[in-house]
Chains A and B, each alone.
Chain A
Amino acid sequence: MNKETPALTDTGAGAAADARTEFWAGARAMTPFMIAAFPMGIVAGAAGVAGGVGWLGTLGMGAAVNSGTAMLAGLQLLRDGSPAPVILLTTLVLSLRMTIYAIMLRPHLRDLPQRWRALLAFGLVDATFFIVIERFGKPVGIRERQWYFLGSATAMFANWISSLVVGMALGSAVPDIAGEGLEFPMTALFIAMMAGALTNWKIWVSVLGAGALALVSHPLPYNLYVVVATLGGAVIGVLCEVAEKRHKKKTETSDTPEAV
């Protein structure tokens, strides 16, 4: 694990300034995501009011799930008259990828007290994960990590709630059909990140495999396709690694047959 520099563990003025710098750096890193996610929040806010859950219900549900996808799925089910267990199960399944994110972030946050971890877990969303995990790849101390994460999570949460409020205020002025148009920026941002992640052939295969799995399993109930495709893509990646290792071993042994 990364050792933090002793100077940063001081609780003096320098450390406070450092925490503030990291907090704002984390918040600033979210700018593209806040812009791209805002339209989706507007759609969700408008859908909440139109769906008859009211102002408080919309805000409450938004804060409760802290996710545009889960919120829109929940509202859709509510409007279709789906029973509560179906709505809860859908929320649970859509949040399962957060479990995988949390598992990946865990080693970087091990040194934090439990209440800090609980707080950061609350703010964990897709965008925060992708930015924070990249930052954690560089050698930074736990103090920087915790404040960077908190800044990123706070920015996304504030942005999410603001976009919901704007959506509720606009209400019926946000036409139903605009839904798909306003959700596209978030999709485009995800595609941009996916394009950036394609750094070797194994990731290519894993991404294409996950995409195909998502399309095939799309009809599954409770939005299970997200989990199926994510796990499937990870397994495909591991299989590629195994294949690569085996291939390397084979070429090595055929190069030096007498060494055996």
Chain B
Amino acid sequence: MTLTLLIIGMALCAFATRWVPLVLFGDRELPEVVKSALNYVPGAVLAALVFPAVLSPMWAGGDSEWAVPTLAGGVATLVAGRFVKHFLVVTVIGVVVFFLVKHFFG
């Protein structure tokens, strides 16, 4: 019962954030400075998710066997992404490097 309530609560939290701008205040015009700030959101949100995911295993005392593969795979993906345009190809390159490093050095 508590779990059901918790899940309902989580659903409300997860969807209020999506619904409010799209459904409730769907017609207001945004100020120019906000519009130009939004241009930087895709890159910034990706950086916010990626940097800790790649670097924090290393900082967690260095005892994680995933620290080095994650860093190597992350850097390889970034470099590949600068030269190859197709997302899936770049991702596969990164994941292959990740597992190779894990296999040989991990």
Q: Given the known A-B contacts A192-B90, A225-B52, are A214 and B47 also in contact in the complex, defined by CB atoms under 8 Å? A: yes
Q: Specify which chain A residues have a CB less than 8 angstroms from the CB of B40 in the assembled complex.
A: 202-203, 206, 233-234, 236-238
Q: How far is the CA of A76 from the CA of B7 in the complex (A)?
A: 14
Q: Given the known A-B contacts A60-B7, A196-B81, are A233 and B48 also in contact in the complex, defined by CB atoms under 8 Å? A: yes
B6 touches A210 (CB 8 A): no
Q: Among the interface residues A133, A214, A235, which one has the most CB atoms of the partner chain B within 10 A?
A: A214
B36 touches A184 (CB 8 A): no
Q: Specify which chain A residues have a CB less than 8 angstroms from the CB of B78 in the assembled complex.
A: 191, 194-195
Q: Report the stretch among A10-18, A20-28, A90-98, A168-176 that lies at the interface.
A: A90-98
A211 touches B50 (CB 8 A): yes
Q: Given the known A-B contacts A214-B51, A237-B37, are A99 and B17 also in contact in the complex, defined by CB atoms under 8 Å? A: yes
Nearest chain B residue, comparing its CB with the CB of A78: B6
Q: How many residues of A contact B (CB 8 A)?
A: 92
Q: How far is the CA of A15 from the CA of B33 in the complex (A)?
A: 38
Contact with A195, one of B52, B55, B77 (Cβ below 8 angstroms): B77
Q: How far is the CA of A69 from the CA of B45 in the complex (A)?
A: 14
Q: Specify which chain B residues have a CB less than 8 angstroms from the CB of A228 in the assembled complex.
A: 48
Q: Specify which chain A residues have a CB less than 8 angstroms from the CB of B27 in the assembled complex.
A: 110
Q: Mark A190-223, 1 if CB is under 8 A from B, else 0.
A: 1111111110001100111111111100100000
Q: Given the known A-B contacts A210-B43, A226-B48, are A191 and B81 also in contact in the complex, defined by CB atoms under 8 Å? A: yes
Taking Cβ atoms with an 8 Å cutoff, the residues of B that contact A are 2-11, 13-23, 26-27, 30, 33, 36-57, 64, 66, 69-70, 73-74, 77-78, 80-82, 85, 87-88, 90-91, 94-95, 98-99, 102
Closest 3 CB pairs of A and B: A195-B81, A233-B44, A237-B40
